[in-house]
Amino acid sequence: MALVKYNDNSISAISSAGQLATGSLVPIKTLTASSSSTLSFVHGTDGVVLDSTYPIYKFEFINIHPATDNVEFQVNFRDGSTDYDATKTSTFFRALHDEADTTTALAYRTGGDLAQGTGFQRLNEGIGANGDQSVSGELKLFNPSSTTFVKHFMGKFSGCNAGDREDTTYVAGYCNVTVAIDGVQFKMTSGNIDSGTIKLYGIKDS
């Protein structure tokens, strides 16, 4: 049976794609900071999906701006309770270059990694709070709903350091738990997230 075409192969009356494939990067939820102490993505809350629907989830960070100068942006994960305290082991390194062209570095940062720690994972170092300073980047979380494997994450960020320099940071690690991760929370080491946007995507067929 042939398909009835209404408008030279377009379907102008359709307003929702339903199950029609529309690309692999699927927007799930956007949170916008406004002097926020934390920003949290919890599965089943306010439209957040963080389960077996997607094998990989990606957070994108746009101009995360701290209220307090020289603080770190951080993440933690929820693993079966309402607390964000999943045990994590991770690596953290950075490249930096200052605007005055006096300092460059590429180095592992022991202050940014975790060894079976339950505290928050650092995502960058020393963001400046000047009006034009912020940090942007991405963080991927792999198969958070697995009850077999530990939960890997990887992120990279470019930030304006309080010392007027560019810091690019790379973080990778795993939540060393075999229960599902069903919530992810972001906050600063001190003070509020003054402004900024965090977007959660699911990556289909990945």
Partner 1 sequence: MALNFANNNSLSAITTLPASISGGGMTLISEQTASSSASISFTSGIDDTYDSYVFKLYNIHPADNSANLRFNLSVDGGSNYNVTKTSSAFAAWHKEDDSGTSLAYNTGNDLAQSTDPQRILFGGLDNANDGNGCATLQLFNPSSTTFVKHFMCTAVKNSYHPYAWNTFVGGYGNTTSAVNAVQFSLDSGNIDSGVIKLYGIS
Residue ranges in contact with partner 1 by CB under 8 A: 1-6, 9-17, 20, 22-27, 60, 62-63, 65, 95-101, 104-106, 131-138, 156-160, 165-168, 197, 199, 201
Q: How far is the CB of 18 from partner 1 (least distance, A)?
A: 9
Query: Between the CA of residue 14 and those of 7, 20, 49, 58, 78, what are the distances in Å?
Result: 12, 11, 25, 29, 39
Query: Between the CA of residue 184 and those of 75, 120, 126, 152, what are the distances in Å?
Result: 7, 11, 22, 13
Nearer to partner 1, 15 or 116 (CB): 15
Nearer to partner 1, 6 or 149 (CB): 6
Using alpha carbons only, give the angle 154, 110, 58 rounded to the nearest 5 degrees.
Answer: 15
Q: How far is the CB of 142 from partner 1 (least distance, A)?
A: 18
Strands (E), 99-182: 104-108, 115-117, 121-122, 135-142, 151-161, 165-175
Nearer to partner 1, 100 or 110 (CB): 100
Q: How far is the CB of 97 from partner 1 (least distance, A)?
A: 4
Nearer to partner 1, 52 or 104 (CB): 104
Q: How far is the CB of 82 from partner 1 (least distance, A)?
A: 29
Q: Any bridge partners for residue 199, and if so which?
A: 30, 60
